[in-house]
Structure 1
């Protein structure tokens, strides 16, 4: 008897022989010839050194050693078949890649992801985030949510959230601010700035002051903080380190939870904000695009009951 390893090609063959009760039946079930099945059985018996089948007048029957081997073979076949079905099912799951910026993905999308998964459990969503959306985003994503003005995004883009900006800060910090200080933006409290590598496509403190009809002063306060990602801007504001510009829609959940409070006048820029880009077509892309539009539309319809500390500033 050879001491070599056992060729595992016999596993399903043995299960079929047991199931059909004959070599010819197993051959038919597996799409093989009967001589090929007989040959495989002889090789297997040579490896084990004992008969595994008892030849009957009609068909075959497993010997004691054959039945012991069958237990292992049946379990292995069941596990392999189950794994095969699971892998094929996973590969068939639609995967949608969404390109967007850090602010939208971390502050708006991720907190709402459980709702999307409950509604579309069969869709795998991959988020491709960057500081700002690049022109070649279609090379790595199916859809995109980008911030900009209508000329920047094209006529096919769908406006999800128009730009609405208001100063926000931690409640304890707002309690220490005086209305007169905010009115002309000459406050001792640091302002938190969102920096941009090139020209800012969003409101900054100076352009916010102009849009709100207020004096921008020097445009800088003592101890101002500057960050290149909006998530860090919000984190600094939550920590009471200064007053930041809050984009309504993005910071709503923190305002509703009372972690941030409104501390100034709201400025609307109707034709600028977050846009849905790309062809949704049908299938998973259409479902994701529809979900994004429904969620942002419901958010805009919500009554204006965000908590405020002090009056809005008229300038």
Structure 2
């Protein structure tokens, strides 16, 4: 048996309530012929008359009365639910723009704490290789890597740049005294000028000479891949403190050289404004997390 077409239900319930096709049409902002058509559809669907004409209106047949007893409460419940849903506050959406490394290695492990503190806020993370600050909208937040002098407008330091060579414990044990000659894992810089520590700069500033033989390392254009290769035991990478501290504390990685800090550069929090109350909540959370004990020492 085919299912009954229910598109006529509200019209029928209205006619049953007011006892008039014309009155129902006025209340539903329909024409009287449109209401008559819907009633004919209902009677065709059910195969029996639902209304009978009386002086100045209509009245329900026995079948119509039984149907109205079922449908009137159901339509009223739907209307009540619709009012409740429309009155409920829409979730406040926060947009956080940042790079792949920060979102994957620093933000995601902490997001559950933000959601527990602000269950009414919906956080949308937009990860790109380079965030265009001029394209941020009202209420947007960005966490960008670079030097403070490169950022226009207000910016707050979250993590100062501090790098340290890292590898897996198994890789360090296998290399032993030959660790200084181990393959290096590089994060390639697409810009003309170096915007972060490279292996060449790190080795030069720490005075750690390398053999003249060609480097047998790997090159990646995203830091997440650098870390994946390091965790796979493919070589030694520069670990950005703050991004890899959890891996160090869990002994997934170990240090393989001294740290090097750039006090003028790091991850900065930017909110171009106007800053909404929800965006202020996000700002407070990010600053608190960057200063919390489990990330102590990130600033070098």
TM-score range, shorter chain: 0.7 to 0.9
Question: Which residues of 2 match residues 46-61 of structure 1 at below 5 A?
Answer: 46-47=40-41, 48=43, 50-53=48-51
> Which of 279, 289, 294 does residue 295 from structure 1 map onto?
289
* Alignment check: 8 A CA contact 1:190 1:221 kept: no
Q: TM-score of the superposition, structure 1-length normalised?
A: 0.74
Q: Give, in angstroms, the shift of residue 103 of structure 1.
A: 0.6
Q: Give, in angstroms, the shift of residue 7 of structure 1.
A: 8.7
Inter-CA distance 226–269: structure 2 relative to 1 (3 Å threshold): same
Q: Structure 2: how far apart are the matches of 1:172 and 1:33?
A: 75
User: Match of 2:113?
Assistant: 115
The answer to whether structure 1 residue 283 and structure 2 residue 281 are counterparts is: no
Q: Give, in angstroms, the shift of residue 136 of structure 1.
A: 3.7
* Alignment check: 8 A CA contact 1:170 1:259 kept: yes
User: Match of 1:32?
Assistant: 27
* Alignment check: 8 A CA contact 2:138 2:272 kept: no
Q: Structure 2: how far apart are the matches of 1:303 and 1:85?
A: 49
User: Match of 1:313?
Assistant: none
Inter-CA distance 219–138: structure 2 relative to 1 (3 Å threshold): farther
Structure 1: runs of 5 or more not aligned: 305-315
Inter-CA distance 272–220: structure 2 relative to 1 (3 Å threshold): farther
Q: Give, in angstroms, the shift of residue 200 of structure 1.
A: 2.3
Q: Give, in angstroms, the shift of residue 67 of structure 1.
A: 4.1
User: Match of 1:270?
Assistant: 263
CA deviations over 1:187-213 (Å, ceiling 9, x no partner): 2310111001112211111222344x3
User: Match of 1:311?
Assistant: none
Q: Structure 2: how far apart are the matches of 1:87 and 1:216?
A: 67
The answer to whether structure 1 residue 105 and structure 2 residue 100 are counterparts is: no
Q: Structure 1: how far apart are the matches of 2:287 and 2:267?
A: 11
User: Match of 1:308?
Assistant: none
User: Match of 1:165?
Assistant: 163
* Alignment check: 8 A CA contact 1:108 1:249 kept: yes
* Alignment check: 8 A CA contact 1:205 1:219 kept: no
Q: Structure 1: how far apart are the matches of 2:106 and 2:185?
A: 20
CA deviations over 1:75-101 (Å, ceiling 9, x no partner): 4664576467547758x2222221111
Question: Which residues of 2 match residues 164-313 of structure 1 at below 5 A?
Answer: 164-178=162-176, 187-198=180-191, 199-211=193-205, 213-217=206-210, 222-279=215-272, 281-299=275-293, 302=296
Inter-CA distance 189–301: structure 2 relative to 1 (3 Å threshold): closer
Structure 2: runs of 5 or more not aligned: none
* Alignment check: 8 A CA contact 2:146 2:196 kept: yes
Q: TM-score of the superposition, structure 2-length normalised?
A: 0.78
Pairwise CA RMSD of aligned residues? Answer: 3.9
**Count, aligned residues:** 287
Inter-CA distance 79–200: structure 2 relative to 1 (3 Å threshold): farther
